[in-house]
Structure 1
Amino acid sequence: MSIVFTVGYEGTDIDRFVRTLKAAGVQQLADVRAVAVSRKPGFSKNKLAAKLAEEGIEYLHFVALGDPKPGRDAARAGDFDGFREIYGAHILTTEAQDALRSLTEAVQGAPTCLMCFERDPATCHRTIVAREVSEALDFDIFNLFADDPERYVRHAAKLPRFHPCESVTAA
């Protein structure tokens, strides 16, 4: 079984964030934010992409998989049922389904981590996206927490690893 990672950058800085990705063996970061701008230094799209490139990690942005503003507002207000309902409808849109197919293809090629802001995967739409990908590919989901990358260094042998999908050839 292979793996898709998820991570939020809430409560961390860019250096710990990147160390966490590297410790887990991530080669691609799939940004699933609708708006890839952040007040946190280093997490806006262009700076993040440049930092990741320096570290050998590819940056991919899937705007259509971002949580629409009403969903973000509901989550911010603590209305997680409302948030899930809004995002559940959004992910069924043509644009989101096209982006989901593209993300699923990308995830098959290299160890990939889905990223959004929220630290807690239970309250973030990236978990919904990760479930869709994992069901399509029969992958497991592993949630990373970027505030203490050393935990992944200390326990590196216990981390799940990516196994490329084997293609089936016609006989």
Structure 2
Amino acid sequence: MKVTTIGFTQKSAERFFTLLKDAEVRTLLDVRLNNTSQLAGFSKKPDLEFFLSGLLDVQYIDLRELAPERDHLKRYQSGELTWDAYAAAYIELLAKRRVESNLDAVMFDGACLLCSEHTPDRCHRRLAVEYLNSQWSGRLNIEHLL
């Protein structure tokens, strides 16, 4: 099953929606903790739902099960937690939530996980999809859209 990830930061709306279209994304899975921030621009939840549906016929799903905990994120952003400590805490959270059992793997086929970070290297969307792939016996073919 093909699954992609994308961050909206450092992308114009044109680039963002073109990447989704070219990747043939059918469902966008929003894994952000705060998807209504003014800093989100065109990717604020209500606007994004409208654009995805109207421009690309893509379904929008707010997937909070894969969002990080606010405290961990704030501690990482402030420098109190290193990336490795944050990543470990996030993976532990996913295991505690049993996301691999509570989410249907089929919903990830043709889906794209959305977060804000430009690249996936230090973003929880990469950790989430890699965690799920490890739990689902490598059934996901992952591509990061840049």
Structures share fold, TM-score greater than 0.5: yes
3-state SS of 1:105 partner: helix
Equivalent pair of 2:91/2:128 in contact (CA under 8 Å): no
CA separation of 1:105 and 1:43: change in aligned 2, threshold 3 A: same
- Structure 2 equivalent of residue 50 of structure 1: 50
Deviations 1:58-84 (A, max 9, x none): 111111210112332244245201211
**Is 2:120 aligned against 1:117?**
no
The 5-angstrom pairing of residues 5-154 of structure 1 reads 5-38=4-37, 39-54=39-54, 55-77=56-78, 79-94=82-97, 97-98=98-99, 101-102=102-103, 104-108=105-109, 111-135=110-134, 136=136, 138-145=139-146
Identity of aligned residues (%): 23
Superposed structure 1 runs of 4+ greater than 4 Å apart:
none
Task: Report the Cα offset of residue 3 of structure 1.
Answer: 1.8
Task: Report the Cα offset of residue 140 of structure 1.
Answer: 1.8
Code of the aligned partner of 1:52: L
Equivalent pair of 2:91/2:131 in contact (CA under 8 Å): no
Task: Report the Cα offset of residue 125 of structure 1.
Answer: 0.7
CA separation of 1:89 and 1:134: change in aligned 2, threshold 3 A: closer
Root mean square deviation of aligned Cα: 2.0
3-state SS of 1:130 partner: helix
Equivalent pair of 1:71/1:84 in contact (CA under 8 Å): no
CA separation of 1:120 and 1:100: change in aligned 2, threshold 3 A: farther
Higher Rg of the two aligned structures? 1
Counterpart Cα distance in 2 of 1:77 and 1:40: 20
3-state SS of 2:40 partner: coil
3-state SS of 2:84 partner: helix
Counterpart Cα distance in 1 of 2:68 and 2:3: 19
How many residues are aligned here?
Answer: 140
Q: TM-score, normalised by structure 1?
A: 0.73
- Long gaps (5+) in structure 1: 146-171
- Long gaps (5+) in structure 2: none
CA separation of 1:100 and 1:29: change in aligned 2, threshold 3 A: farther
Deviations 1:135-162 (A, max 9, x none): 31512211101xxxxxxxxxxxxxxxxx
Task: Report the Cα offset of residue 98 of structure 1.
Answer: 4.5
